[in-house]
Structure 1
Amino acid sequence: MNRPDPDHARKLALQARLVAFVLAGTMLLWIGVQYLGGQRGWDARYVFLFDFAAIAAFIWALVVTYQIWRSRRG
């Protein structure tokens, strides 16, 4: 029976932690920008810029999460 490599498991755990921080930080920043944009009357194009940045961060997190999942299965 193969024993899991501790270095590989540690690397996956660090990647998962990074994904968690990116997701939490993105949500907090996105909510804050939405609130500030509404309070200060920013143009929609600036708010959409932050929306697209948040979408990019979520896609990155999804891709890395999928890679972690595939690595643990294999």
Structure 2
Amino acid sequence: MNDERNLAIARKGRHIALVIAGTTLLWLALSLFIGPAIGLPGRYALLFDFIALAGFVYAGINTFQLWRMRQDSQR
């Protein structure tokens, strides 16, 4: 039981790390390199910012869930 919980915690932590890294890389690539290179108007940069913000909020919620999982496993 404890090993399954530890594996679930580790899996969730890796998932959060990948979401944060992927969101950051995609956001930087779209807003700094790809967007200007293909001539997208500046309003699309705001769209990319909102998409990145949604990804970071998702990661924050999952981080809170991970924290709760770790608190419950220590009891």
* Long gaps (5+) in structure 1: none
Are residues 1:52 and 2:50 paired? yes
| Offset from partner CA, 1:42-69 (integer Å, 9 cap, x none) | 1222221111111001000011011111
**More moved, 18-27 vs 35-44:** 35-44
What TM-score, normalized by structure 1, do the two folds share?
0.84
**Which AA in structure 2 matches 1:57?**
G
What is the percentage of aligned positions where both structures have the same residue?
A: 38
TM-score by length of 2: 0.83
Instruction: Report how far residue 70 of structure 1 moved.
Output: 1.2
| AA at the equivalent of 1:33 | L
Partner residue in 1 for 2:10:
13
| Secondary structure in 1 matching 2:40 | coil
CA positional deviation for 1:11:
0.7
Matched residue, 1:66: 64
Moved more, 33-42 or 44-53: 33-42
**How many equivalent residue pairs?**
71
Flag structure 2 segments of 5+ consecutive residues without an equivalent.
none
Distance in 2, matches of 1:21 and 1:59, equals: 14
Q: CA RMSD in A?
A: 1.4
Q: How far apart in 2 are the matches of 1:15 and 1:47?
A: 30
